[in-house]
Structure 1
Amino acid sequence: MALLRSVLFAAIFYLVTVLMILVALPATLIWRRRGARAAAHIWTRFHRWCAVHLLGIRTRIEGHFPPGPALVAAKHQAMYETMELVVILDTPAIVMKRELSDLPLWGRLARAYGLIPVDREGGAAALRRMLRAAEEAVEAGRPIVIFPEGTRVAPGDAPPLQPGFAGLYRALRLPVVPIALDSGRLLPRGRFVKHPGTVTIRVGETIPAGLPRKEAEAAVHAAINALG
């Protein structure tokens, strides 16, 4: 049954995704960023519908997101949370690998939406570009989502944080909202078959701005790995 559910999800979600991209691209020429964000709103909510009705996967949120601007530091175990956090936080700016923003068609929409690409090999110049984009997002009142471990990991893995987190934390002077999650149990990395169940997204205690780097990184690392 899990295999059948996964086949249906892949066939329906990715086919509709292609159609949405083809419709959304002309919309961004007319309405620009507003058009891209409307498309993201529809797409991520369609993903949630597919997850619930085709895969049997639902989300349980523990805790509450505080009001006001914040740097949201989340665990990353599956594509699932990148979509769910857009729904939950309402058009956040997400820090992502530059390679994703270079993808044909989808990458153009991602840039129009206001995602923040990061070039890990680009040195100081790439870091400055990331910081400028993040500052613009903060000025627009958008929360910023970063996956500080830098990549998807299996449940139980807890690699050290990448330096990009410390750079954003120091430059933006925002409190950090840490997010622990366990999506990898149901959507294991590198496997086609997904399993029904409930993904827990746990909102940890807010970490204040202005802490020393090592203290902030230790607090974030512990909080995002609270669910293993």
Structure 2
Amino acid sequence: MIAWVRTILFRVLFYGASVPIVLSAPLSARFGRPAMHVHAHVWIRVHRFLARWILGVRVRVEGQRPPGTYLFAVKHQAMFETLEMAQRIDGPLIVMKRELIDMPFWGKTAKAYGAIGVDRDASSKALRQMLKEAAVARAENRSVLIFPEGTRVAVGEAPPLRSGFAGLYKALNMPVVPVALDSGRCTPRKGASRSGVITIRFLDPIPAGLPREEIEARVHAAINALEPAVAPPEPGRPHQLRR
């Protein structure tokens, strides 16, 4: 019961605060992308404050985000990391589902910030459009954030990576930084949120230019490093899935 009271209070306060923040975003967009990043980070700080003091959720970061430009491949269990990782990676281009980009008003705001839309059907046309939009990352020397599993999954689930990840990896020719996390334990997609500590783990960069099968296997294992079905890596060896 207490967990549900906290969850409902958090949602009321967060979404209530989000309305003026999102509605005022076009004003910030008129002053350029740096102003949009400041605006977005205000929203992120509101989310972080409410998660900490209403839900009782804290964050523990393991490893370090390396300096430079990377393709960040992040595990996706909750909305929590959608906002949290944008701040911790310092304003990357974010790959998100096309349905969000096409939403009235919100879509324009997301594009102004730097969002890349991708269709879930993974058709060749959809992938070409995603790669075209991602070319902006190379031109602006910005990192790219992608949730390669394509959607939020429950704790313990490790679905295969969507085909768009390999295409993006090849087109950008960027090294990949896998990020494992366990946000679903505290803020599950369904049900009440629970107090606790969310771990965000930055793993070692994986170089660009690897064959598709290898990069997908290494990234899949790395982003699932906090899942019980994935064995911890041996020194000097990539993560391996338990059978």
Calculate the TM-score normalised by the size of structure 1.
Answer: 0.94
User: What corresponds to 1:214 in structure 2?
Assistant: 213
User: What corresponds to 1:183 in structure 2?
Assistant: 183
Could you tell me which runs of 5 or more consecutive residues in structure 1 were left unpaired when the two chains were aligned: none
Equivalences for 1:76-115 in 2 at 5 Å? 76-115=76-115
Displacement of 1:129 after TM fit? Answer: 2.1
- Deviates further, 122-131 or 147-156: 122-131
Equivalences for 1:44-193 in 2 at 5 Å? 44-121=44-121, 123-191=123-191, 193=192
User: What corresponds to 2:231 in structure 1?
Assistant: none
Identical positions, percent: 54
The structure in which a higher percent of residues are helix is: 1
1:223 aligns with 2:222: yes
- Deviates further, 158-167 or 44-53: 44-53
CA distances 1:165-220 after superposition (whole Å, capped 9, x unpaired):
000111111111001110001111122x1111110011112111111110111100
Secondary structure, aligned partner of 1:84: helix
Are the equivalent residues in 1 in contact too, given 2:122–2:163 (CA < 8 A)? no
What is the root-mean-square deviation of aligned Cα atoms in Å?
1.4
Are the equivalent residues in 1 in contact too, given 2:155–2:182 (CA < 8 A)? yes
Displacement of 1:122 after TM fit? Answer: 6.5
Distance, in Å, in 2 between the alignment partners of 1:132 and 1:69 is: 18
Are the equivalent residues in 2 in contact too, given 1:33–1:113 (CA < 8 A)? yes
Are the equivalent residues in 2 in contact too, given 1:182–1:200 (CA < 8 A)? yes
Are the equivalent residues in 2 in contact too, given 1:69–1:138 (CA < 8 A)? no
Are the equivalent residues in 2 in contact too, given 1:116–1:130 (CA < 8 A)? yes
Calculate the TM-score normalised by the size of structure 2.
Answer: 0.88
Displacement of 1:136 after TM fit? Answer: 0.9
Structure 1 runs of 4+ aligned residues shifted over 3 Å read 32-35
Structure 1 letter corresponding to 2:72:
V
Structure 1 letter corresponding to 2:200:
I
Query: Alignment length, in residue pairs?
Result: 226
Distance, in Å, in 2 between the alignment partners of 1:122 and 1:156 is: 25
